[in-house]
Amino acid sequence: MKSPALGIDIGGSGIKAGFVDLDMGDLIGERIKIDTPQPSTPVAVATSIRDMLKDLDWKGEKIGCGFPAIIQDGVALSAANIDKSWIGVNVEELLQNYTGYKFYVINDADAAGMAERMFGRIKNVKGTVMLLTLGTGIGSALFYDGTLIPNTEFGHINYKGKIAEDWVSNRARKDRLLEYDEWADELAEFLDYLILLFSPRLFVLGGGISFRFDEFSDRFSHLRTPVVSASAFNDAGIIGAAVAAYPELMEPYM
């Protein structure tokens, strides 16, 4: 039994943390949230997390963390919605040096995907499955037979002369003054494009917009790939980050 675990979800505006029951996939108690320091430099963020952990009084040895960047071998290779000085930084080593805990860091959308893969809509689903988090941008997590293919960043696909998230993220919906039905019709077009490229068996839509999924779900009924909402909502990043601290849990399906 590995519970409780600790997951941290680092975002451009907030840093969220919580204890996670890895048997059930639920938060234990309330999640904690602090503002992401501005500017969100490595030293400033690491210091905030160190202070947060003192308040949490964490007794474990390791921590899982979702981070808004392409992560390879613990190193940030991009910087989406966080200070550009993170590029090239070994996030795992930096956070361990500041806190004394061993960190396992993955892309934040991949963390949300892992929550759904372990406990939600993607559990035991074989074939290609794609999760999209729809918020300020579009994060993505891709799975094949339960195996994560990390750092996909489908929100940055060239689409209609821009990147996709400039057309169909929730930020784009607000900027373009679109009603949810209008926006969902355009999102369906983008999903149809992804179907052409990847032929997924299932789409899972996450992020804050997932709370309103029932209001526009009918706009996807004509697609040949089913579209469902994420089950973990805003807690998915914390839950999936906690899973990342136990790589053995992410083994492929038999």
pTM value?
A: 0.94
CA 12, CA 201: separation in Å to the nearest integer? 31
Per-residue pLDDT of 212-249, as tens digits, reads: 999 999 999 999 999 999 998 878 999 999 999 998 88
Domain 124-230, CATH among 3.30.420.40, 3.40.50.170, 3.40.50.2300, 3.40.50.300: 3.30.420.40
Residues facing residue 147 across a β-bridge: 144
> What class, spelled out in words, does domain 5-110+236-250 have in CATH?
alpha beta
Q: What kind and span of H or E run contains 62?
A: strand 62-67
Cis before 4 (ω within 30):
yes
Please, which pLDDT band fits residue 1 given cuts at 50, 70 and 90?
A: very low
CA 96, CA 83: separation in Å to the nearest integer? 20
* Angle subtended at Cα 115 by Cα 127 and Cα 156, rounded to the nearest 5 degrees: 70
